[in-house]
Amino acid sequence: MRYADLVEYYQRLEATTKKLEKRDILAELYGQCSEKYLSRVVLLSSGTVFIAGEQELGIARKMMRRVIVKTYGVSENDVIKKFKETGDLGSTAEFFSKNRKQHSLAKRELTVEHVFENMRKLPDITGAGSHERKIALVNELLSHASPLGARYIVRTILGDMRIGVAAGIVRDAVAKAFGKDAKEIEHAYDIIGDYGQIAGMARLGKLKAEIRPGRPIRVMLADRAPDLKTALEKFENPALEYKYDGFRVAIHKDGNDVKIFSRRLEDVTHQFPDIAERSRENIKARQCIIEGESLAIGRDEKPLPFQMLSRRIQRKYDIERMTKEIPVQVNLFDVVYCNGQSLMNLPLSERWSKLKGIVRETAQLRLAEHMETKDFSRANVFYKRALSMGQEGVIVKNLDARYQPGRRVGFWLKVKEVLEPLDLVIVGAEWGEGKRTRYLGSFILAARSGDTFLETGRMASGLIEKAGDKEIPTMEEFTARLKKLIVAEEGKIVRVKPEIVVEVGYEELQKSPKYPTGYALRFPKILRLRPDRSAQDCATVQEINKLYKLQRGRFRKSA
């Protein structure tokens, strides 16, 4: 398939803002795609060459500017000037491609396969000279591309397609193209996590979402409850577990082969060889997928602050030393697959018994604290003990409920003491004043509404000034990270790609017509960075809505 054919579809997608039209355009594209190309086209149409959590392309805007300079023989200043005008390096490349003076003689037609495979090579280019080799690879693509092709190649590599295609639209388009129900496609996605592969299966009429070790599944999530009593009343047979404040891991064991996946479906086995080793030694099942919350622990085996664990998550080198310096403990709470069988449809009571049966507990691999009762006073003692042990609270779980991947369906309810902090994504920032002109200070925070991000507040730089000592990035680090994500600039305000998620504490949620979510945060304050969250995981407007109602209830009670 020619890349130019795909580009025509990109253009049509970009030309409409209507979701249904986008779905129909995509369904037409998928429907006419040959089997060989389908999975690649599905990924490329959603603006990427990797499935969620697999890899990142790792090309910053600055590097892309250098590619444009090299490909079209223009000066860096010309590129910066054009970028200021268009606010988009894709259109900037397109402009220089159109106005190119010398044309490459040996120009050949780009195929989808060639573009896709070359882009996938980018993250693997590491070590000495990697910068130049990456530039050469992108340069090769651009020199064979048409002006429009250049626009979309650049945007794909920068992860900023601007064609308004989000996961929901891809799901609906796959369903439409192959005559399936969107729910069926979504269910398969929860387990397989790759719309490309699912489209291929749907076309062949072999849509079977099988779980197996080594293939990450989207995890089940919890809802919020206003208090313990309400949560207990929700279920006929409730269980309570400590809500550990750590990093969720799914341990996939297949014989001696153990892989660890994060909640974002990233393979983090490399960062956690100790968890893999403990699992190999102490999980008695030949094959299984089990889940737990990992915590960093001190010498006394007490949990350490999340920042310590965060160092383990981000660590790429010297892992061996790190595992000794910051040991982790996994508190296991579920099993979804065991010895060739999915356990997802079993009630939690049976899954929990199964889990107990296959784990040999050690200090570093243990079962979560778990109690089954509907009696409020017993539950309250358990809850208070969780808090006194430094945990966040409890999760009240419905023992009769199945495992529902990827969603908050109300089978798990978390109960916490404090006003819930919010995970929000940074969508913009403002250059500072006076001695802070070099820094992007005040952040524009947003919550998710479907596939878009809506502003819900600004956070003044003063509030994060001392950030450096709390393992929150310093202003300098924040500025460096945000600069790489800038997509547009207007005066002192920059807009950034929604990527950095921060946990924000606040004193109160207030109704506010000033922000598109309808809510503002009173005294927002960064509590920590959430490298384990993607923008898709940040708080939704519906959640803020619920929190607002909960908060009103609580304030009324205490008044």
Q: Which residues are catalytic?
A: 243
Residue 267 near residue 257, CB atoms below 8 Å: no
Q: Which is nearer to ligand ATP, 243 or 354 (CB)?
A: 243
Q: Which is nearer to ligand ATP, 200 or 405 (CB)?
A: 405
Q: Which is nearer to ligand ATP, 474 or 551 (CB)?
A: 551
DSSP 303: B
Give CA–CA dist 183/106, Å, rounded: 48
Which among 302, 303, 308, 356 is positioned nearest to 334, based on CA atoms?
356
Q: Which is nearer to ligand ATP, 167 or 221 (CB)?
A: 221
- For the bound state, the minimum distance from the C-beta of residue 84 to ligand ATP, rounded and expressed in Å, comes to 38
- For the bound state, the minimum distance from the C-beta of residue 544 to ligand ATP, rounded and expressed in Å, comes to 13
Residue 294 near residue 260, CB atoms below 8 Å: no
The beta strands (E) that lie in 199-237 are given as: 221-224
- For the bound state, the minimum distance from the C-beta of residue 180 to ligand ATP, rounded and expressed in Å, comes to 28
DSSP tally for the chain: helices H, then strands E: 20, 20
Residue choice 4, 63, 167, 221 for contact with ligand ATP (CB under 6 A): 221
Q: Which amino acid is at 121?
A: K
Give CA–CA dist 311/82, Å, rounded: 40
DSSP 2: B
Q: Which is nearer to ligand ATP, 151 or 533 (CB)?
A: 533
Tokens, residue 520: 């503002």
Which among 260, 250, 223 is positioned nearest to 344, based on CA atoms?
250
With binding defined as CB under 6 A, does residue 293 bind ligand ATP? yes
Site size with ligand ATP, rule: CB under 6 A: 14
What burial class does residue 466 get, using C-beta atoms within 10 Å of its C-beta: 0-12 exposed, 13-18 middle, 19+ buried?
exposed
- For the bound state, the minimum distance from the C-beta of residue 41 to ligand ATP, rounded and expressed in Å, comes to 33
- For the bound state, the minimum distance from the C-beta of residue 420 to ligand ATP, rounded and expressed in Å, comes to 6
Q: Which is nearer to ligand ATP, 190 or 293 (CB)?
A: 293
Q: Which is nearer to ligand ATP, 333 or 453 (CB)?
A: 333
What burial class does residue 72 get, using C-beta atoms within 10 Å of its C-beta: 0-12 exposed, 13-18 middle, 19+ buried?
buried
Residue 339 near residue 287, CB atoms below 8 Å: yes
Backbone angles phi, psi at 436, to 5 degrees: -105, 15
- For the bound state, the minimum distance from the C-beta of residue 95 to ligand ATP, rounded and expressed in Å, comes to 42
Other beta carbons less than 10 A from residue 419's beta carbon: 16
Residue choice 69, 260, 290, 395 for contact with ligand ATP (CB under 6 A): 395
Q: Which is nearer to ligand ATP, 278 or 397 (CB)?
A: 397
With binding defined as CB under 6 A, does residue 186 bind ligand ATP? no
Of the candidate spans 87-95, 240-248, 487-495, 516-524, the one that interacts with ligand ATP by CB under 6 A turns out to be 240-248
Residue choice 23, 151, 248, 259 for contact with ligand ATP (CB under 6 A): 248
Of the candidate spans 201-209, 227-235, 239-247, 470-478, the one that interacts with ligand ATP by CB under 6 A turns out to be 239-247
Residue choice 30, 72, 195, 244 for contact with ligand ATP (CB under 6 A): 244
Which residues make beta-bridge pairs with 2?
A: 111
- For the bound state, the minimum distance from the C-beta of residue 393 to ligand ATP, rounded and expressed in Å, comes to 9
Q: Which is nearer to ligand ATP, 122 or 529 (CB)?
A: 529
| Interacting positions 317-356 with ligand ATP (CB under 6 A) | 333
Q: How far is CA 72 from CA 53, 84, 89, 144, 389, in A?
A: 33, 18, 13, 12, 62
Residue choice 23, 66, 155, 243 for contact with ligand ATP (CB under 6 A): 243
Give CA–CA dist 382/389, Å, rounded: 11
Of the candidate spans 135-143, 237-245, 269-277, 479-487, the one that interacts with ligand ATP by CB under 6 A turns out to be 237-245
Of the candidate spans 110-118, 243-251, 316-324, 447-455, the one that interacts with ligand ATP by CB under 6 A turns out to be 243-251
Angle at 534 between CA 123 and CA 421, to 5 degrees: 150
| Interacting positions 408-427 with ligand ATP (CB under 6 A) | 414, 423
Which residues make beta-bridge pairs with 446?
A: 425, 455
- For the bound state, the minimum distance from the C-beta of residue 363 to ligand ATP, rounded and expressed in Å, comes to 18
The beta strands (E) that lie in 135-243 are given as: 221-224, 238-243
String of contacts with ligand ATP for each residue 352-371, x by CB under 6 A? ----------------x---
- For the bound state, the minimum distance from the C-beta of residue 423 to ligand ATP, rounded and expressed in Å, comes to 6
Tokens 């020619």: give the residue: 2
Give CA–CA dist 24/484, Å, rounded: 34
Residue choice 241, 266, 274, 430 for contact with ligand ATP (CB under 6 A): 241
Residue choice 222, 319, 409, 488 for contact with ligand ATP (CB under 6 A): 222
- For the bound state, the minimum distance from the C-beta of residue 221 to ligand ATP, rounded and expressed in Å, comes to 3
Q: Which is nearer to ligand ATP, 419 or 486 (CB)?
A: 419
Residue 466 near residue 403, CB atoms below 8 Å: no
Tokens, residue 456: 């819900």
> What three-state secondary structure class fits 122?
helix
Which residues make beta-bridge pairs with 341?
A: 338
The whole-angstrom distance between residue 72's C-alpha and the CA centroid of its chain comes to: 35
Residue 371 near residue 239, CB atoms below 8 Å: yes
With binding defined as CB under 6 A, does residue 252 bind ligand ATP? no
| Interacting positions 439-468 with ligand ATP (CB under 6 A) | none
For ligand ATP, the binding residues (CB under 6 A) are 221-222, 241-244, 248, 263, 293, 333, 368, 395, 414, 423
